[in-house]
Amino acid sequence: MKSPIFNPQSAIGSVSPQVPEKPALEGLEQKWMARWEADAVYRFDRTRPRSEVFSIDTPPPTVSGSLHVGHVFSFTHTDVVARFHRMRGKAVFYPMGWDDNGLPTERRVQNYFGVRCDPSLPYDPSFVPPEKPGKHVIPVSRPNFVELCARLTAEDEKAFERLWRHLGLSVDWSMTYATIDPRSQRISQLSFLRLLGKGLAYQLEAPTLWDVDFRTAVAQAELEDREQPGAYHRIRFRIADRDDFVTIDTTRPELIPACVALVAHPDDERYKPLFGRDVITPLFGVRVPVRAHTLADPEKGTGVAMICTFGDITDVTWWRELSLPVRAIIQPNGAFKPVTWGERGWESTDASAAQTHYDQLAGLSAVKARTRVVEQLKASGDLLGDPRPITHAVKFYEKGDRPLEIVTSRQWFVKTMEFREVLLARGRELRWHPPYMQARYENWINGLAGDWCVSRQRFFGVPFPLWYKVRADGTVDHDARLLPHEDQLPIDPSTDVPDGYTADQRNQPGGFAGDPDIMDTWATSSLTPQIVSRWEEDGDLFARVFPMDVRPQAHDIIRTWLFDTVLRSQFEFNSLPWQHAAISGWVLDPDRKKMSKSKGNVVTPLALLEEHGSDGVRYWAASGRPGTDTAFDSGQMKVGRRLAIKLLNASRFVLAKPEPHGAVTVPVDRGLLSMLARIVRDSTTDLEEFNYTRVLERSETFFWFFCDDYLELVKGRRYGDQGPALAASANGALLTALSTMLRLFAPFLPFVTEEVWSWWRPGSIHQAEWPSAEEVLSASGGAEDSRGIEALEFASAVLGAIRRKKSEEQRPLKTPVARAVVRGPAPLLSLLPDIERDVCAAGLIAQLETAPADTLQVDVELAKAEPPAEERAQ
């Protein structure tokens, strides 16, 4: 229910102010958190039609330890927008989610309990983890491991919720979800089965980006380049059937046994005579062809490169487009696998020598194998000169510690490459805030190198909902899929049994085998609009909130969360999932680096909230412009706290004597409301466009002008020094301005504004109506008063000159002014009658004179200082 708009013409009556003697910020969070929850202030009204709903696809923070100040930063931006639209009369759909599956959670559980998952172990219902992790890691079954993950994330989620409530997020906590809960699993599996049925999901054994520590495939979107030391090695390959050599430069000489070809640019005259010929690999004696491809760079190294299966993504492209064989040597654990040279696929001109060289590499990591191969090349004379040190970009999994490898494995993919144009078109339909973020989305799509790999070889996540038939010889037939019915979801193929089979047929000849993998965490997170709107579960709710109004998120996950969500919505609904994308920046540490838990440079927010107050921290966060990285600055939080304290004190002054109040008739009073009406009009437009920072800046500037200039100007008059009619005008302006300013600040400073509102207005300010310019001006006749604005600005300038004079002479502000001469143009001086009495009272001016001048000048003569008391006594 909306609180009634304050009308300064009406008597305060039953809502007479109840102002505390010494208002303070301390304790406001606890007081109002409890009240908001008890009164269901932020509960979503699902009876409202879609046209009256503002729905938010909230980012579910990763539950893997603790929130940091970067979360506070971006979630405050979303909350400001949510509060604004609620006050604009919308039913705000604002759920909170927890992203609790995936690698970060698994790593935290492993470290916290001292366990590791071994899927070969049976479930132990009596397993109890040690109170503290021991020296030796305990292997546990997958079901036991998943139970520990669920246990720890449940504890983390409670801590996250407490902090979010303390920050004042206006979330409907009755609609909380988790990306691993049954609803999320059901929707993820349902969507996957639909993609499979449409031919948009497929399984393939192919080269895959692979993290050797986590032993899982990763997607292109999860990569990051890190500068690493390396070296170029110039290596010679003998040209087959000729006593001549061709040289290459490589940073990965250890992959020579995996070499399947050399490649050069088709227009490179140096190598045209070699195209179609073979060369012999050093050490291993393998005949490989020299091929032409446009991706070969004539300016890089010697202009000819080694194609290995697989060293990098370009190798995969060359391998695929040139139809080359596979000679893979790196295993999922990162070690070189055993190879028998001379067998099919491992042919050599000297199998014995190849075996001798390779046996020294088998079982080694890539780094150790590189050192050994360099020693072998030096001994054979095939390394020309010494390695040349370089620093170059190497691809890592964003959460990994070792460079990625490319391993051939069976994975699930979702088609993306053939839909790039339609996805680019969707991006142009979306309204981006700020607009330039659209370019990041388009750059990502244009740079895609393959379809989206959505499977992971991990344990805590949403399982792929299918089984495979097992052949009579015990091998799995991956083409013979067994699918559940949609109404059976969610299912876990590692424990559930397909229709027509029994549990004892699992992994047996003629039986079935469950798909062992889980979905990439983004495969579930990309469905958050469907999860929160209860797609295919609650059609009424879905129709009221989807497509959603806004997706707020950081710019670094445009390539993952935003892109993937657009993709999934396109496939299922042929539409965008939301109308707007509100992009926030990062919080930077003092070294201008992104704050993140993985980098170890984060600041946890609870102490900040307790020290500066939630409103103070929110003030700093809301000062960060959309899409812009912002430095962590506790000094700004102190500024926000001072603003909140001043709001308490100024409100106490305004409400201390609200009578008499009535129509606003005095020019400076009308000028104040006219200025405020313009601010309300501009702020409304800005918040509709997610420009919350400009609104805060504008509101704060006006508030300090109100406190420093206007309050001082009308202080005497509002107490009746110039008669009741003029006092009524001042009080009418003060009360209207206070009501309006509180509501302008409410989305940013929810606790202090709610506290002040409660002193004199019924209900919650966060359910009150957002102010309008018309409402503000109605107190002064309904129209802007330009002359009143000029008069108020003139009065402010005169008072400012008087304050400066007192400051320069180091005299108290209460020092009387014996004489003031205001010089200026005639139009300006014509305003003096409108302000003279207020200015003289506020400035303690005994004699006020005017004189013509081209620009405004104020000559101030202060009253003589009284001699010290001892001199007066003499």
Kindly write down the DSSP assignment for every residue of 693-733, as one continuous string: HHHHHHHHHHHHHIIIIIHHHHHHHHTTTT-HHHHHHHHHH
Q: Are 76 and 693 in contact (CB under 8 A)?
A: no
pLDDT of residue 548 exceeding 50, the answer is yes
First-to-last C-alpha distance (Å) of the chain? 71
Q: What is the pTM of this model?
A: 0.85
336 contacts: CB under 8 Å, gap ≥ 6: 254, 329, 330, 358, 361, 362, 363, 364, 366, 369
Model pLDDT, residue 313: 86
Model pLDDT, residue 598: 58
Phi-psi region of 720 (alpha: psi -120 to 50; beta: other; left: phi over 0): left
**DSSP 3-state assignment of 666?**
coil
Model pLDDT, residue 337: 94
Strands (E), 613-760: 630-631
pLDDT of residue 859 exceeding 50, the answer is yes
Model pLDDT, residue 136: 87
Q: How far apart are CA 175 and CA 93, in angstroms?
A: 9
Model pLDDT, residue 65: 63
Beta bridge partners of 231: 389
Q: Which tokens is 433 given?
A: 């805030």
243 contacts: CB under 8 Å, gap ≥ 6: none
| Predicted confidence (pLDDT) per residue in 626-662, tens digit | 999 888 888 999 999 999 999 999 999 999 888 888 8
391 burial level (CB within 10 Å; 0-12, 13-18, 19+) = exposed
pLDDT of residue 869 exceeding 70, the answer is no
Indicate the range of 3-12, 177-186, 282-291 predicted with least confidence: 3-12
Find the Cα–Cα–Cα–Cα dihedral 393, 394, 400, 402, rounded to 10°: -130
**DSSP 3-state assignment of 561?**
helix
pLDDT of residue 15 exceeding 50, the answer is no
Overall average pLDDT of the 508-532 stretch: 95
Model pLDDT, residue 5: 42
Beta bridge partners of 139: 116
Q: How far apart are CA 176 and CA 161, in angstroms?
A: 10
Q: How far apart are CA 192 and CA 606, in angstroms?
A: 39
Q: Are 622 and 692 in contact (CB under 8 A)?
A: yes
pLDDT of residue 414 exceeding 90, the answer is yes
pLDDT of residue 597 exceeding 80, the answer is no
Q: What is the mean pLDDT of the chain?
A: 92
% the chain with pLDDT above 90: 76
Model pLDDT, residue 4: 41
Indicate the range of 9-23, 244-258, 807-821, 852-866 predicted with least confidence: 9-23
Q: How far apart are CA 38 and CA 16, in angstroms?
A: 24
pLDDT of residue 10 exceeding 60, the answer is no
Model pLDDT, residue 14: 34
- How far, in whole angstroms, is CA 822 from its chain's centroid? 54
DSSP 399: T
| Predicted confidence (pLDDT) per residue in 700-742, tens digit | 999 999 999 999 999 989 988 888 999 999 999 999 999 999 9
Q: Are 46 and 544 in contact (CB under 8 A)?
A: yes
Overall average pLDDT of the 334-345 stretch: 94
Model pLDDT, residue 600: 60
Model pLDDT, residue 31: 96
| Predicted confidence (pLDDT) per residue in 228-249, tens digit | 999 999 999 999 989 899 999 9
% the chain with pLDDT above 70: 96
802 contacts: CB under 8 Å, gap ≥ 6: 817, 820, 843, 845, 858, 860
